[in-house]
Structure 1
Amino acid sequence: MPLFSGRTTRRSRVVPALDDADLTRVLRQLSRRGVGGRALEVAQVSTLLEETGENWDRRSHRVSVLAEATADTEIASSWLARQPQDADALVFHSWVALVRGLRHRRLDDAARLVSQCHRAAELRPADPLPWVVLLGMARIERYAQNDVNALWREATARDRWHREAYLQMLAHLSPEEGGSSASVLDFIDVVRTRIPANAPCAAIEVTAAVRQYQGLLAQGGVRAMTAGQLWQSGQLAAALEQAASLWAKPGFFQHAGTLADLNVLAYALCAAGRAADAHDVFQALQGTVTPWPWNVDGDPVQRFEQHRDKAERGRLGSAGRA
């Protein structure tokens, strides 16, 4: 799936599948509910995941997007009822339950879901996804940190730089979910120097900073007024500098969540007062918008376009002064 193949401006839109054409096709088919019946819907999802094979990064992206898209349907339950010992069916059903659980901050029959994940892990031992789902469940159930660390080790032992595993751990540690800013910083300090620059989880430091920045804005008052100082930290400024110079280059990133990470980087650069540096990132995105981080203060597409236009003006202004 070629990224950044064209540089002509496209209409900005939220694209859950990002650059995944096969996933886009299945989502479009699923949107025509009632056409072909439940059996066909199950077949469309199961076939796509089967075709993904052992590309754990791409499987995670497809499972998470499909789970979000079908969480209000019975597709996952129907699939599991038909194939109760199928690893994909077990993982998908558990991930759909996780999506619902995160919406309502509770899990229905958590013990059963844990059992499903362990069974999926038995059926496909190399797959990190059952352990990643368990990490997500730990966010809701608020497992003890030692237990969360054990799940983390299982997931990353199978795929060391698994993007979704890092995001689930970051969310678990965040103050919004019962953790603390100190816990997040400790986690970032531990992993920062180990992650290759182009790994699927390479955006975790910038992602954590955006979450912290938005948290400060949400508090209002003095914290909101001084939130911009966050980006002046030497370590974070250096991380942004490296990301701005590398991430938007064609071929630098190859993982399924590349366009989502570029959305985070574009937002971070604009928040840091570096709109001109975000220009190339917006160009690489070609109008592909993710709801977060743009949706915290308005319509994500509108906010994306406002910042994109500001970045364009900033680039033109910089060129004029050169």
Structure 2
Amino acid sequence: MSIFRRLRASGPRLRPELDDVQLGRVRRQLQSTGRLGVDDVQIDQVERLLQEAGADWDRRGHRFAVLAEAAAPSAFARSWRRRRQRSTDALVFDAWVELVRGRQAGGMEDARAAADQCYRAADAEPADPGPWVVLLAMLRLIRAESREVFAVWSEVAARDPWNREACLQMLRYLSPEECGSRSGQLDFVDSLRASMPPAAPVVGVELTALVDEYARTTAKGGVEGLMARRQWTHVRATGALDAALNVWPRQGRLRHAAALADLNLLAYALVQAGRVREAGETFQAIGDTVTAWPWSLDGDPLQRFAYWQAKGLA
């Protein structure tokens, strides 16, 4: 799928599915489930969408995550699992929905049951990293001991070493706000960067860490908060921005499912670094598809994106 699209007159829009048109169509249908109830047609559509991704773990993971967010307010996941008792995708999806609900509530009602579903799915589909990715996110949510977290991380990495969702979960778990430190985060980033291909799905992890650090410092307020923008002049930050700017916006260079999310991340980082003029090509590549994060760090994401896109394209 091309990540390059023309700017539309309707203006920027939040699209969790990014440029996956089929995913967007099914996501919107799932959002109506609460009003219309669950039927076999909806289940068939979700199953088909996931099956079409085949062994493209990156695309499958993106579709699982987006659909789980859409299905969390309804009984869709449980209905699917009950009607398709032999489906491993239904097991993983139900666990993922429970994870989404747990994030929203600040804790899971029955993490053990959801984990058991993941283990059952992992036993049934040994090559699939999906069940292990959900387990990793659950362990992060409950602030599990690092020994448990790294054991599950190893299971993911053995199956899909550049799994974007898993790497982001590890990055946040290792943050100072959770169970790690800034140095631990940077060590993790360096370990990925040392061996990952140039256009792997995890190319945005280093910029994510830098934006997280910038937001962390800004939130402190005072003199330190006011000086946070200086972070973007450090060698590590300028190097990461330059490397991304030279590759990411070019057509066909980023092909992973969340490429548009990483382009949003790059545009935001360039803006914060005071490099708005250089962000024009990135904003052009993004078009009108906006991700809530990181633009929401500064207010309404659509307003902030539209404001800076106009400046970047001027």
* TM-score class normalised by the smaller sequence: over 0.9
| More displaced 10-residue stretch of structure 1: 201-210 or 214-223 | 214-223
Q: Is the 8 A contact 2:14 2:290 kept in 1?
A: yes
Q: Is the 8 A contact 2:38 2:79 kept in 1?
A: no
Q: Which residue of 2 is the match for residue 103 of structure 1? A: 104
Q: Which residue of 2 is the match for residue 246 of structure 1? A: 247
In the alignment, the residues of structure 1 paired with residue 65 and residue 289 of structure 2 have an alpha-carbon distance, to the nearest angstrom, of 18
The one-letter amino acid of 1:82's match is: R
Q: TM-score, normalised by structure 1?
A: 0.93
In the alignment, the residues of structure 2 paired with residue 47 and residue 218 of structure 1 have an alpha-carbon distance, to the nearest angstrom, of 44
1:45 Cα deviation (Å)? 1.6
The one-letter amino acid of 2:107's match is: R
Q: Which residue of 1 is the match for residue 268 of structure 2? A: 267
For 1:73-106, what per-residue CA distance to the aligned partner results, in whole angstroms no more than 9, with x for missing partners?
Answer: 1100111112233110011011111111111221
Q: Which residue of 1 is the match for residue 53 of structure 2? A: 52
Q: Which residue of 2 is the match for residue 187 of structure 1? A: 188
Q: Which residue of 2 is the match for residue 30 of structure 1? A: 30
1:285 Cα deviation (Å)? 0.5
In the alignment, the residues of structure 2 paired with residue 14 and residue 149 of structure 1 have an alpha-carbon distance, to the nearest angstrom, of 33
In the alignment, the residues of structure 2 paired with residue 7 and residue 38 of structure 1 have an alpha-carbon distance, to the nearest angstrom, of 36
In the alignment, the residues of structure 1 paired with residue 266 and residue 9 of structure 2 have an alpha-carbon distance, to the nearest angstrom, of 19
Q: Which residue of 2 is the match for residue 119 of structure 1? A: 120
The one-letter amino acid of 1:186's match is: D
In the alignment, the residues of structure 1 paired with residue 141 and residue 86 of structure 2 have an alpha-carbon distance, to the nearest angstrom, of 26
The one-letter amino acid of 2:22's match is: D
In the alignment, the residues of structure 2 paired with residue 203 and residue 37 of structure 1 have an alpha-carbon distance, to the nearest angstrom, of 36
Q: Is the 8 A contact 1:10 1:286 kept in 2?
A: no
Q: Is the 8 A contact 1:94 1:116 kept in 2?
A: yes
In the alignment, the residues of structure 1 paired with residue 193 and residue 38 of structure 2 have an alpha-carbon distance, to the nearest angstrom, of 47
For 1:172-212, what per-residue CA distance to the aligned partner results, in whole angstroms no more than 9, with x for missing partners?
Answer: 11223343222212211222222222110011000110111
The one-letter amino acid of 2:78's match is: S
In the alignment, the residues of structure 2 paired with residue 30 and residue 138 of structure 1 have an alpha-carbon distance, to the nearest angstrom, of 27
For 1:19-42, what per-residue CA distance to the aligned partner results, in whole angstroms no more than 9, with x for missing partners?
Answer: 001101112322343447433332
- Summarize the alignment of residues 111-260 of structure 1 with structure 2, pairs less than 5 Å apart: 111-260=112-261
* C-alpha spacing 1:7/1:298, structure 2 compared with 1 (3 Å): closer
Q: Is the 8 A contact 2:38 2:75 kept in 1?
A: no
The one-letter amino acid of 1:208's match is: A
In the alignment, the residues of structure 1 paired with residue 57 and residue 167 of structure 2 have an alpha-carbon distance, to the nearest angstrom, of 14
1:6 Cα deviation (Å)? 4.1
In the alignment, the residues of structure 2 paired with residue 65 and residue 119 of structure 1 have an alpha-carbon distance, to the nearest angstrom, of 22
Task: Name the count of aligned residue pairs.
Answer: 313
In the alignment, the residues of structure 1 paired with residue 108 and residue 5 of structure 2 have an alpha-carbon distance, to the nearest angstrom, of 42
Q: Is the 8 A contact 1:42 1:76 kept in 2?
A: no
The one-letter amino acid of 1:65's match is: V
- Summarize the alignment of residues 243-322 of structure 1 with structure 2, pairs less than 5 Å apart: 243-313=244-314
1:48 Cα deviation (Å)? 1.4
Q: Which residue of 2 is the match for residue 316 of structure 1? A: none
The one-letter amino acid of 1:49's match is: L
In the alignment, the residues of structure 2 paired with residue 310 and residue 15 of structure 1 have an alpha-carbon distance, to the nearest angstrom, of 22
Instruction: Give RMSD over aligned pairs.
Output: 1.6
| More displaced 10-residue stretch of structure 1: 263-272 or 83-92 | 83-92
The one-letter amino acid of 1:58's match is: R
For 1:204-224, what per-residue CA distance to the aligned partner results, in whole angstroms no more than 9, with x for missing partners?
Answer: 000110111111111111221
In the alignment, the residues of structure 1 paired with residue 39 and residue 215 of structure 2 have an alpha-carbon distance, to the nearest angstrom, of 41
Q: Which residue of 1 is the match for residue 4 of structure 2? A: 4
1:112 Cα deviation (Å)? 1.1
Q: Which residue of 1 is the match for residue 66 of structure 2? A: 65
Higher relative contact order (CA 8 A, sep 6+): 2
Structure 2 residues not aligned, in runs of 5+: none
In the alignment, the residues of structure 2 paired with residue 172 and residue 54 of structure 1 have an alpha-carbon distance, to the nearest angstrom, of 27
Q: Is the 8 A contact 2:284 2:313 kept in 1?
A: no
Q: Is the 8 A contact 1:90 1:120 kept in 2?
A: yes
